[in-house]
């Protein structure tokens, strides 16, 4: 329901003149908030499904709506969760190129790239992008749901899908890549964060004016801080945290912040 990817798709679709239909997990709330409010503003058509039905029937739901639009003479492009497939990979392949240019501009040689990983495509795109450009970079994904094994498999699947779909873009030989997942920071579950994550979000906003969200970037950033303290990234490399957005996901969780010690209290 608070998908940043769906919201971005709804807004870009509006701009490009495409109709966007979102298939969302969870019953419609009385009042749309955060990303869902923006989905409505962008004029997307929205279908809500109870969690159990969404989980059990997503392929059927896609097929149903694709047939529905086909019968009306339209052609529907079904975009999977998070656009994490061989086609969606192009987004963070471009992101990797942009980061490489930033590193060059800042005279950064070797680095760690750190991101949140939720459906795998961001990590897969950055991992493949770094390999294709032969960058001296390790890409680390902090998973915000599922576990390490799931993401190792998903990143490999997405990259294999990219190779299948775009054979003329695959260099020969295909460069080796390494998927690195840091598990252990999912906390209470997908979309739910501990008080420490909310404290980290508030602290970063106060210290740097940077805003993270509790579902993705806040969890990953909090995890990265713990791992830095534990010595995971010891050495002389720079650490680049890839801020993937998601600010609107903060608003529906406004109640989790503790301002009792602030001057506003």
Ligand X SMILES: Cc1ncc(COP(=O)(O)O)c(C=O)c1O
**Rule CB under 6 A: which residues touch ligand X?**
4-5, 82, 84, 116-123, 213, 216-217, 244-246
The DSSP H or E segment spanning 78 is none
Rounded to 5 degrees, what are φ and ψ at 240?
Answer: -115, 115
Residue with smallest beta-carbon separation from ligand X = 246
224 strand-pairing partners: none
The conformation of residue 245, written as its DSSP 8-state character, comes to -
Quick check: is 3 catalytic? yes
Count of Cβ atoms closer than 10 Å to residue 265 Cβ: 7
* Sequential DSSP letters for 128-174: HHHHHTT-SEEEEEEESSS-HHHHHHHHHHHHHHHHHH-GGGS-SSP
Tell me whether residue 7 or residue 137 sits nearer to ligand X (CB atom).
7
What is the smallest separation between the CB atom of 92 and ligand X, expressed in angstroms? 7
Count of Cβ atoms closer than 10 Å to residue 253 Cβ: 20
What is the smallest separation between the CB atom of 187 and ligand X, expressed in angstroms? 15
Task: Name the residues annotated as catalytic.
Answer: 3
């Amino acid at each position: 329901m608070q998908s940043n990817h769906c919201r971005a798709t709804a807004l870009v679709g509006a701009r490009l003149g495409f109709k966007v239909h979102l298939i969302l997990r969870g019953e419609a709330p009385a009042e749309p908030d955060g990303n869902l409010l923006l989905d409505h503003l962008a004029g997307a058509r929205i279908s809500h499904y109870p969690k159990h039905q969404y989980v059990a029937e997503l392929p059927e739901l896609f097929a149903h709506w694709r047939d529905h639009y086909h019968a009306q003479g339209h052609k529907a492009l079904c975009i999977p969760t998070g656009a994490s497939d061989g086609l969606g990979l192009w987004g963070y392949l471009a992101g990797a190129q942009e980061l490489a240019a930033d590193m060059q501009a800042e005279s950064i040689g070797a680095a760690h790239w750190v991101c949140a990983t939720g459906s795998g495509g961001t990590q897969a795109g950055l991992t493949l992008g770094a390999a294709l450009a032969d960058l001296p970079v390790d890409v680390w994904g902090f998973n915000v749901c599922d576990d390490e094994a799931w993401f190792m498999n998903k990143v490999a699947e997405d990259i294999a899908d990219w190779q299948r779909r775009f054979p003329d873009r695959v260099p020969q030989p295909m460069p080796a890549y390494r998927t690195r997942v840091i598990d252990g920071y999912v906390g209470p579950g997908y979309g739910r964060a501990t008080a420490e994550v909310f404290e980290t979000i508030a602290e970063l906003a106060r210290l740097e004016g940077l805003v993270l969200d509790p579902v993705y970037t806040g969890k990953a950033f909090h995890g990265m801080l713990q791992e830095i303290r534990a010595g995971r990234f010891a050495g002389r490399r720079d650490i680049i945290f890839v801020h993937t957005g998601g600010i609107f996901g903060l608003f529906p969780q406004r109640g989790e912040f503790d301002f009792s010690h602030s001057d506003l209290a």
